[in-house]
Each structure stands twice: as structure tokens, then as C-alpha cells.
Amino acid sequence: MNIIFTAGICLMLNLTTLHANSRQDNVLQQVRADLKKINAAQSFTNNHHRSTGGTVSVGAAGDADCDFNMGPNRIQDAIDSGAQQILLSTEDSYFENLVIDDTNIIIRGGYANCTAADNGLISGGSAIIDGSLSAEPVISITGNNTRNNVRLIGLTLENGQSGGIETNLTDALIELFQVNIINNSNNNQGGGISIFAGNTDLYAHNLFISSNTALFGGGIGCQGFQASVTLTGISNIHNNQAIGTGTGSSASGTGGGVFLAQGCTFSMYSGGAPADVQLENTTEQLAGLGGAALFNNSANRMGGAIHSINDSKVFLFGQQMCADGQCLGDDATPLLVINNSADADAMGAEGGGAISLLHPDNEAIINGTRIENNNSGGPGGAFLVDDGASLVVYRDHRSCWSDVFCNALFGNESGTAVGLGGLLYNRNAQVDISNAFISENRADFGTVVYGTGEQSVTRIEGSILNENGEDGAGGWSDNHVLSVSLGATAELVHNTFTDNRAEVAVFNVDPALNSSLNLQSSIVDDASSGDVLNAAAGITTIHCLMAHEDLSFSGTQVAVDDPEFVNPAMGDFSLNPMTSPAIDFCDDSQANIQHPDINFESRGWDDPGFNNNQGPFDLGADESLVNDIIFEDGFN
């Protein structure tokens, strides 16, 4: 199968596409699409009649209660018989490479033997289908004469030499429940699952994809404007690798966990799923198990966890997302993106330890996540966003797995050979990060952010940036917390910079091509990082700021003072409600506020215990509401 990559061509995204209304529209549209997919799965359950073919059982040789118990192709023989439900005994492993062509079917494991299958007695465990005896995928799903449903439950698909599951121009809804896809390989895309074109939608709950390899997308490869992948429950994409090499946006070695191209949409939710899914003779509960994760994946080039190009979309939801009275995910468990790596072959040229995004109309929208300890040999310890792509990290609503750490962006590292952007490398792309706690990231230049190019816009609001850099120890230079160059723009609104350990200065604004920094309504209590601004800086607009010094820059409504945090030694950077001079400091006439504060509380409460400096808005990430009895009780 030849896979062709076509770069999307469109105008550069306008910054307004990152604003709240547009973001919420995109999110609501995606949640509705995912719920429609899951409701279609429920409808399939309710309407899957077996007047033709019925239910059959497959098991070990000598088990007389099995309908199919002889020969090397027992499961395929059952499929070819026209059965609409196939129940697999776990007494034996099955060395087969299955083809499911243009049919509705359920294949379910988890039965101790065929007697148990006949009586609907599920004992748990997986039926193992081993594809090692052929060069074909373990399961190929084909056909587009009509829309089909294929449901796989309680299976382990392993050792496929052309992947675990493959579709090609297929028209189907594929449902995976309690499925393990492990140790498969593919010399093209999708070591675990490959979806190529067609109207193919995959929905999986409690899916485990581990130790698979491919040139593109070690775990999952998906291409096509009508293709989509939705994961719920404790779905894990773990220890997969994109092993290819090359240069250019279409080169292999990208997407250790997931590779997306040509408009494929990938969505992943933490925690649970909606209502029970009714199966024959049993009810499978699909509620709040938590633990969704992309972890320990690696790519030889770009995108340790996810690489997305050509108009594709990524949605990672660690908060419960609802539409029209139905919900997906939960607010109790974050979605984890941890310990992924890019440039695993140590060539040092590529990056995006967690996620890389390329090309216009290519976007990722993320909330309620822990994005931690990802690394890259090149730029972007966690994120590499390039060529007109967009990234949004935000908090959707008040309830979250953690009040302060709802978006925890910790411990990501770019390479030590001129590594750019410990958390984020933004080249001619648009990024909006809000309500985040950003800590312990490392790089040579820009321990948190390195932006470059005249179309590069990085916006951070309502976030705490703390302890990034380590004074140049351990092989990193740790120059600056944020750096913009060659015409890039950074807009920082209501943030708290404190106790970072960068070198040279907190901010670096390269004068070349009018690079610029707009710093509003913030706290920069960061003496360990040196001056606030580099010498000979480019264009800066600084208004309403409390800082540790004011000699390196010029601005309006600037104070040098101690903001008096509640307990900085314990990571509590809220303002002391009795003494902080940062309370009621600003009128925010110049600040472009788009988000609530870091705790998802409204800004601009006028504390009666303080005389306003310029207005009712507090400086920094947190708006102090402790002195308001109503707000203190949470009625905001």
C-alpha cells in the first residue's frame, strides 16, 4: 500500500482562531462527534440481530462444545460462515491473520471454554490472536459497499508483521473494548493500528497499545479526512516507537505513539465513558476507571507521543467534556503525557518530545493534562509547533483533578546541543497556553519557550512559571525563561514568574525583524534569573508589573516589591490576602484578558481591605478572593 503525504495549503491562522469562542466551538463540535460515534455503537448493540448466521463458539481441538475447533483457521472459518457473533475460548492461542470484509460482526474473548461461551459466562482474560505466521496484519478490516460495525472485545493481538489492525479505504465503525495490541510491527504506518483513508471511525475503551513499531506511528497511524480515532477509559499508548529516518515533513521516524495525516482526528479522554454498553448475555460497564496515558513512546525524528500534519486534529481532554446532556471523561484523573522522547536516534536535528504539529489548519486542543518528563534531542522538549499549526492548552471549567495543577507542564527537556525551548518550540505557529503550572523545564535557550519567525505568536495567560532552569548545570545553558527571535511575538498576561533559575535574563527579545514582547499585569519575582530583560532588546510593551528590578527595561505602572506569596516554599503562589501589595494593583485597561485566573476564578474583584493602586485587578496568575466570603465559599 502506497501512502502519499499531501501538505495542506491555506492561509496562516489568525490569532482570533485561538480565542475562547472559536476554541469552545471546536471543542463542542468534537465532543458531539465523539458522542455520536459512541451512540452509534450503542445502537449497533441494540439492533444486531442474528437471524442469519447467529452466534458461534471457537475453541481448542477436542472441545466438542465448540462450533469451530479444528484446523489452523478456526476463527476465519467462523467469520466466513456468516456468523454475526464469534465467542472465543481462552484455552488456546490462535495463530491466524484474519480478514473481516464488508460485514457486521462481534468477536469476543474471555471465555474459559466453549461451554462457558454457550452459557454467557465470562471469566475475563484475553483470547490471544498471534499473527506471526504470515506477513499480513493480525486483523484486516476491509470493504466499503456499505457501512459496517466491527466490534472486538477481550482480545490480545500480537506479533503481526504488518501491524495489529489495518484498514484500507474502509467504511466502518470499529469498536475495541478491553483489547491489547502488543509487539506488532509495520514497515509503513501504524504498528498497532493503521487506518488509511476511507470513512473509518475507531472507538476504543480500555485499549492497551504497547511495544509496537512502524516507520510512522509506532502505536497508531491514521490518515484521511473522514477518519477518526476516539479513546476513553484507561486507554494506554505505551512504549511504541517510530523507527524511520529521513528529512522533510513527510520523512519517516515520526509519531512514536500516534501519527496523524491528511485530516485524521484523534481524541482521547481521561476517566470514564458514557452509559453502559449492552452486550449479548451481559452488561459491560464503561464507567470511570481513569488512567488514560501516552507514555514511554519514542520517535527517531519528531513527535515522541504524537506527530500530526496536513490538517489533522488532536484533542486531549483531562477534564469531563459534555454536550447536549451527555458527558465523556471525568474531572478526577488527569490525562497523562509522560516520558516520551523525540530524536531517539540521537541525530539531534528534530524535536517535539511529546507532540509535534506541522502545517496550517493542524491543531491540538488540550486540557486537564500532566505533560511531564518528555525530552527531545532537538527543539521542543514537550511541544514543537511549526509552519502555521496551532496549539491550545487551557482549563475548560472549574472542576479539575487539581485546583492549581490542572495543566501541569513539568520537567520537559530539549537537547543539550543548542536545545531550543524546554517546554515549547514555536516556529511560525500560534500557541495559547493558559491556567498552567509550568516548572522544571530545561533548554539551552528558552527554558520554557523559544519562539522564532515573523508568524510565531506565543500567548501565556493566568499561569505560574516556577523553577525552570538550573543555573546552567547538567549540560544545559538555561539562557532565559522565554526567548523570541527573528520577528516572533510573545504576549504574557497575568502570569507569575518566580524562582526560575535561568541564566542572563528572564526574557530575551531579539531585535532582528522586530521581535516583540507584550508583558501585562504580571509578577516577575525572579532575581535568580538575572535582569528582567536582556540588553539591547527588541520591541517591548510592559505595563502593570511587579518585579525584582526595573533597571533593565522601561514600562508603565511598574513597582519593585515583594509580592508576598502565601507559602512559596510549599508551592503556594497565591497572594497573601492580608499584606500583598500585588492585590488591587491594576486597572487592566491594556491587558487582553481571555481566561479566568489559574483557579478558574473571575478577575477584577475589588478587595475592600486594600486601597486600589490603579484598579481592582490583582497582579499575576491568581486573583485573591479569600477576603470575599461569598467567593471564598465557591459561589463564583
Query: pLDDT value at position 344?
Result: 81
Task: Give the separation between CA 512 and CA 537, rounded to whole angstroms.
Answer: 9
Which residues of the chain, if any, have pLDDT below 50? 1-18, 49-52, 272-290, 630-636
Output the pLDDT for position 53: 60
**Are the CB atoms for 117 and 59 separated by under 8 Å?**
yes
Would you state the pLDDT for residue 426?
98
Residue 74: all three cell numbers together: 478456526
Using the structure block, give the residue that is written with the C-alpha cell 465523539. Answer: 34
- pLDDT of res. 35: 96
Query: Could you tell me how many helices (H) and strands (E) the chain has, helices first?
Result: 4, 56
Distance, in Å, from the CA atom of 423 to the CA atom of 439, rounded to the nearest integer, reads 9
Q: Do residues 305 and 259 make contact, with C-beta atoms less than 8 angstroms apart? A: no
> In the prediction, which pLDDT does 124 show?
83
State the pLDDT at residue 6: 25
Q: DSSP secondary structure string, 539-595?
A: EEEEEEEEES--SS---EEEEES---EEEGGGTEEEEPTTT-TTTT-B--SS----S
Residue written as cell 524535536? 351
The pLDDT score that the predictor gives to residue 244 is: 85
DSSP H or E run through 228: strand 228-232
Instruction: Provide φ and ψ at 123, rounded to 5°.
Output: -100, -5
377: left (phi over 0), alpha (psi -120 to 50) or beta: alpha
3-state secondary structure 354-411: CEEEECCCCEEEEECEEEECCEECCCCCCEEEECCCEEEEECCCCCCCCCCCCEEEEC
CA–CA separation, 129 vs 181, rounded Å?
A: 10
Residue 631 pLDDT? 44
Question: Under 8 Å CB-to-CB from 210, ≥6 apart: which residues?
Answer: 180, 181, 182, 183, 219, 236, 237, 238, 239, 240
Which residue type occupies 592? N
Contact present, 242 and 217 (Cβ < 8 Å): yes
**Integer Cα distance of 35 and 23 in angstroms:** 18
pLDDT of residue 626: 85
CA gap 333, 318 in Å, rounded = 7
Cell (9 digits) for 410: 513539568
Alpha carbon distance 521, 86 (integer Å): 63
Q: Report yes or no: 154 and 110 within 8 Å, Cβ to Cβ.
A: yes
The rounded distance, in Å, linking the Cα atoms of 110 and 416 is: 49
Identify which of 21, 28, 37, 22 has the alpha carbon closest to the alpha carbon of residue 361: 22
